[in-house]
């Protein structure tokens, strides 16, 4: 298996909803394992997600989980998830879905460097950056 680098998002009890939302945004195969699946079936957090992974046909991988009980997720950490490429229709579609119900800090529009760029925070508190470059060719 090749080494891969991908975002791993933490949630306070909303990982299932968030990862299902990202599957709606990006498509692909979603695998969810709950705490109950790993021997904690008779605990209050049995239905929460211990590990989830979304893999898309286009090669995107996004992982996430609910924090273990007693651990809080720090909101607004020093990260953003970045999407970039030159497929404008695909990236605008992702932008529309991710920003719906969230907040836009930088509208998706042409920037001084020539690309379309925007920043938003989705309804689960995850910050996203979308950059649409000109097709190279």
- pLDDT tens digits along 78-113: 688 999 999 999 999 999 999 999 999 999 999 988
Q: What's the helix, strand, coil split of the chain in %, to 5?
A: 20, 35, 45
Q: CA–CA separation, 56 vs 29, rounded Å?
A: 6
- pLDDT tens digits along 2-46: 768 899 998 989 999 999 999 999 999 999 999 888 776 677 778
Stated pTM of the model = 0.84
Cα of first residue to Cα of last residue in the chain, in angstroms, is 31
Q: Which residues contact 12 (CB under 8 A, 6 or more apart)?
A: 66, 67, 72, 73
- Residue 29's SS3 state is strand
């Amino acid at each position: 298996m090749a080494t891969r680098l991908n975002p791993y998002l933490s949630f306070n009890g909303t990982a299932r909803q968030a990862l299902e939302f990202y599957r709606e945004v990006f498509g692909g195969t979603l695998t969810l394992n709950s705490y109950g699946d790993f021997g904690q079936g008779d605990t209050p957090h049995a239905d929460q997600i211990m590990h989830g992974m979304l893999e898309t046909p286009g090669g995107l991988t996004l992982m996430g989980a609910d924090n273990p009980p007693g651990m809080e997720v720090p909101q607004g950490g020093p990260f953003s998830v970045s999407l970039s490429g030159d497929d404008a229709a695909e990236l605008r579609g992702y932008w529309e879905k991710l920003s719906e119900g969230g907040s836009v800090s930088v509208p998706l529009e042409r920037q001084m460097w020539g690309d379309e760029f925007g920043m938003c925070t989705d309804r689960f508190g995850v910050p996203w950056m979308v950059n649409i470059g000109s097709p190279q060719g």
